[in-house]
Amino acid sequence: MTEKHDAVAPLTRLTEDEVIFRDSVYEFADKEIRPLVSEMDEHAKFSKALLGQLFDLGVMGIEVPEQYGGAGATFFHSVLAVEALSRVDPSVGVLVDVQNTLVINAFVRWGSDEVKQRYLTRLSADTVGAYCLSEAGSGSDAFALTTRAVEQGDGYAITGRKLWITNGNEADIFLVFANINPEAGYRGITAFIVERGTPGFTVGKKEDKLGIRASSTCELLFEDCVVPKANILGDVGKGYKVAIETLNEGRIGIGAQMLGIGQAALDHTVKYVKERKQFGKAIADFQGVQFQIARMATDLESARLLVYNSARLRDAGLPFLTEAAMCKIVSSEMAERVTSMAVNLYGGYGFVRDYPVEKLFRDAKIGQIYEGTSNMQLMTIAKQIMG
């Protein structure tokens, strides 16, 4: 760490206001979301009524300035909200994460005053957003996208196919990346705002996933979908900057989701080992079990410090690229280890759906894949360290 980063490190501790905010979000999740978790997972469908409650709670527009109807809070508050929600259901956590750390983040940073007035007011009030970058041949190589946008009068006609788009079913505003000049490579990529219902735009198949099943992951189809030039976010040909900078922050959001998963696994496991009896006493009394719980807690806290520090650096306007990559890889691997240990300590009960840790184990796996695989994070870290 550099000297200026060391100066920020103590800020990983929460203020009283931040604790109150985090706990209030968790209390909401525990009361309103927990009764819906099993059904949403089983049917792979997000509760429509729950969406309205999330907007009422104020977690769908955390960084939106108050003048546009948002909370006017910090990026760190978004991280706390995602963590708290993910302790109950990571599917809800990722919906809120994409809304705040990707979609709203991009609009706040790159939108003109007119675009902000038109879209931030909706995103903070009642409208879900989606971030549409990935394609069949463009995953880790994000800028190999083949979706094209051809100038047509006062607008652009978009043609192509996007895959694995989070919030695809719930969203009405889609931030779509397309190339207006393939010969220019990534310098032709431009970010377009596409609204549901625009002719030529269709939300396609919803993926049947291993985990975070209530979160919709869909394909998007564009066939001569014409959007006005006023719907370009940022400058023409600068979409790659929009993508890079928002994804760096989005990785911190995924780190927060993994924290929520890990915390939930630890909470459930501590409660279970105190109740489960073998050989005439609670298995929590066995030193081997205690050591495993201690490792789970240590892994979790280590990841939390990395995630929180990355978010603090971002809010302080300091470099955080390396820290964001570190926090994502560490937190996603932590979530897989901790949830796996939870299943082990539950024994046979951990392998059945009547108990909560089986779902957390499934939910954790995606953390090492989306918003930059673990190998891509290692590449980023190595490049930064080695110059």
Q: What is the CATH number of the domain that holds 268?
A: 1.20.140.10
Catalytic residue among 135, 323, 358, 371: 371
Q: What is the pTM of this model?
A: 0.94
pLDDT of residue 8: 43
CATH code assigned at 58: 1.10.540.10
| Residues 194, 225 within the same domain | yes
Tens-digit pLDDT profile for residues 76-123: 999 999 999 999 999 999 999 999 999 999 999 999 999 999 999 999
| Residues 226, 327 within the same domain | no
| Residues 364, 257 within the same domain | yes
| Residues 187, 283 within the same domain | no
Mean pLDDT within 214-236: 97
CATH code assigned at 195: 2.40.110.10
Q: Based on the structure, what is the number of domains in the chain?
A: 3
Distance of CA 63 to the CA centre of its chain: 15
| Residues 162, 217 within the same domain | yes
| % of the chain exceeding 70 in pLDDT | 97
pLDDT of residue 5: 43
| Residues 55, 138 within the same domain | no
| Residues 183, 271 within the same domain | no
Strands 128-132 and 171-179: parallel
Residue 371 annotated in active site = yes
Last residue of a domain, one of 237, 261, 290: 237
φ/ψ bin of 279: left (φ > 0), alpha (ψ from -120 to 50), beta (otherwise)? left
For the chain, what percentages of helix, strand and coil (3-state, to nearest 5) are there? 60, 15, 25
Instruction: Give the tokens for residue 231.
Output: 């719907």
| Cβ atoms within 10 Å of 386's Cβ, excluding its own | 6
Last residue of a domain, one of 89, 107, 128: 128
pLDDT of residue 140: 84
Tens-digit pLDDT profile for residues 303-351: 999 999 999 999 999 999 999 999 999 999 999 999 999 999 999 999 9
Whether 153 shows a pLDDT value over 80: the answer reads yes
Last residue of a domain, one of 197, 213, 237: 237
Mean pLDDT, all residues of the chain: 95
- Helix (H, G, I), strand (E, B), or coil: what is residue 40? helix
Mean pLDDT within 139-148: 87
Q: Which domain holds residue 39?
A: 3-128
| Residues 248, 369 within the same domain | yes
| Residues 249, 212 within the same domain | no
Asked if residues 135 and 161 have their Cβ atoms less than 8 Å apart, the reply is yes
Q: What pLDDT band is residue 12 in, cutting at 50, 70 and 90?
A: low
Whether 299 shows a pLDDT value over 70: the answer reads yes
| Residues 106, 157 within the same domain | no
| Residues 188, 259 within the same domain | no
- In sequence order, the 6+-apart residues with CB closer than 8 A to the CB of 145 are 133, 135, 138, 160, 177, 178, 179, 189
| Residues 249, 382 within the same domain | yes
